[in-house]
Amino acid sequence: MGEGSNLMVGTDANFQKEVLEAEQPTIVDFWASWCGPCRMIAPVFEELSNQYTGKVKFVKVNVDENPKIPANYGVRGIPTVIMFKGGKVVDQLVGSGSLSA
């Protein structure tokens, strides 16, 4: 997630600006370091972020470090991936099976 990358780190503090106020559709991956399936989908998520640079924004939110945002969106299992457009949830996937290559 280096400089110029289309993959950002989301936090409770920057979620409003980076996701809800984003001009482009934004896909958020709610994950944790101890979650095996989260680590399995991470390379797929990163690859997709590279493929859709300029079209879709990709954000990763660590649920252990940022508990407020996942709670606001009813995230109970991880990985959970939520797509936002215009500040609203437009789609949601729970579990790693729906993101496998």
Tell me what pLDDT residue 6 has: 84
Question: What range defines the domain where residue 46 resides?
Answer: 7-99
Q: Is residue 42 part of a domain?
A: yes
Model confidence at 4: pLDDT above 90: no
Q: Report the phi/psi class of residue 40: left, alpha or beta, with left for phi > 0 and alpha for psi in -120 to 50.
A: alpha
Q: What is the mean pLDDT of residues 53-58?
A: 94
Q: How far apart are the C-alpha atoms of 43 and 41, rounded to whole Å?
A: 6
Residue of 27, 28, 38, 63 marked active site? 38
Q: Report the phi/psi class of residue 45: left, alpha or beta, with left for phi > 0 and alpha for psi in -120 to 50.
A: alpha
Q: Is residue 1 part of a domain?
A: no
Establish how many alpha carbons lie within 13 A of residue 63's alpha carbon, considering only the half-sphere containing its beta carbon.
21
Q: What is the mean pLDDT of residues 13-39?
A: 95
Tell me what pLDDT residue 96 has: 67
Tell me what pLDDT residue 2 has: 44
For the whole model, what pTM was predicted?
0.88
Residue of 7, 35, 48, 82 marked active site? 35
Q: Is residue 64 part of a domain?
A: yes
Number of domains the chain is built from = 1
Model confidence at 73: pLDDT above 50: yes
Model confidence at 98: pLDDT above 70: no
Which one has a higher pLDDT value, 96 or 59? 59
Instruction: Please confirm, yes or no, whether 38 is among the known catalytic residues.
Output: yes
Model confidence at 78: pLDDT above 90: yes
Closest listed residue to residue 15, CA positions, set 73, 101, 100, 99: 73
Establish how many alpha carbons lie within 13 A of residue 14's alpha carbon, considering only the half-sphere containing its beta carbon.
12
Q: Is residue 49 part of a domain?
A: yes
Q: Is residue 63 part of a domain?
A: yes
Q: Is residue 2 part of a domain?
A: no
CATH code of the domain covering residue 19: 3.40.30.10
Q: Is residue 17 part of a domain?
A: yes
- CA 60, 86, 90, 4 dihedral sign is negative
